[in-house]
Amino acid sequence: MTPAAIRSMSGLRIAFLAIAMVLLLMTLVAEAWIAAVIVIIAIALVIPWPFLFVTGPDGSRQTRSDLVTSRKWMGRSAVLLTVVALFAMSSAWSDTPEGKAAMAKRDQERRIEQAMDEARERAEEAGKQAAAEEESRSGLHCLSPWNGSYRALVTAVEPTMRNPDSFEHIETRITRLDSDGNHNALMTFRAENGFGGMNVETAFALVRGGDCQLLEWRIMS
């Protein structure tokens, strides 16, 4: 089998070694000895040991053909061991007084942030509820969002016109909730009179606040 022409130290392996050396230094500072040993093993797996290579016909260094697959798995194992070492170092550091203090601080900050988020949510919910209650008291929720009419009053008034097809809604005004829990609504509309002209008239309605039910109505003379 022809040996694969692979460089002894690729850029990826050099970058990995640099990261591993930094991690090794961190484990030593944190006195995480188990993590340090794991990092050392990971470094050993990617170091270009002389026995891994042969000299090719052109004089270049080549990975031994029987070790190409093994070297790939050694690199993957080194990455896995580095991740394990990182977790081991984090676990060891969390058991130190400094680590415990830092974790307690983070937990406190997290609780404060969570409390602030909950307070904001409660404030937003209270604001929405207050807005809904204000809209309910104003009576505007009973009016159509399209043309501002009170549909129940339009339905009651329109058939009583001389020519129902001539009915045109102009404006509807509604009062705030009164002491009886009702609203007063005044609808201005246009309709055809007996002479073929158009009259502007007003209709009054008593509206129940809870469900916008039409309680009574009349045409204002």
CA-based nearest residue to 168, from 141, 195, 203, 212:
203
Asked whether the predicted pLDDT for residue 56 surpasses 70, the reply is: no
Full domain range(s) for residue 19: 11-95
Instruction: Report in angstroms the alpha-carbon separations of 171 from 18, 32, 38, 190, 201.
Output: 77, 79, 80, 10, 11
Residue 191 β-bridge partners? 199
pLDDT of 73 reads 79
Report the SS3 class of residue 64: coil
The model's pTM is 0.45
In a domain, 128, yes or no: no
Averaged pLDDT for residues 86-94: 72
In a domain, 59, yes or no: yes
Domain boundary among 33, 65, 95: 95
> Are residues 84 and 152 part of one domain?
no
- By CB atoms closer than 10 A (0-12, 13-18, 19+), residue 158 is middle
In a domain, 1, yes or no: no
Alpha helices by DSSP H, listed for 60-170, are 68-94, 97-138, 151-157
CA 179 to chain centre: 43
Report the SS3 class of residue 210: coil
Q: Residue 106 — very low, low, confident or very high, per pLDDT cuts 50/70/90?
A: confident
Specify the higher pLDDT residue, 95 or 187: 187
In a domain, 19, yes or no: yes
Please state the domain count of the chain. Answer: 2
In a domain, 91, yes or no: yes
Specify the higher pLDDT residue, 201 or 110: 201
- Structural tokens at position 138: 């104003």
In a domain, 199, yes or no: yes
> Are residues 18 and 82 part of one domain?
yes
In a domain, 110, yes or no: no
In a domain, 2, yes or no: no
Specify the higher pLDDT residue, 99 or 148: 148
Sign of CA dihedral 64, 65, 67, 70: positive
CB burial string 103-128: b at 16+ within 10 A, e below? eeeeeeeeeeeeeeeeeeeeeeeeee
Averaged pLDDT for residues 91-99: 63
Query: For 85-94, 110-119, 173-182, which range has the lowest pLDDT when averaged over its residues?
Result: 85-94
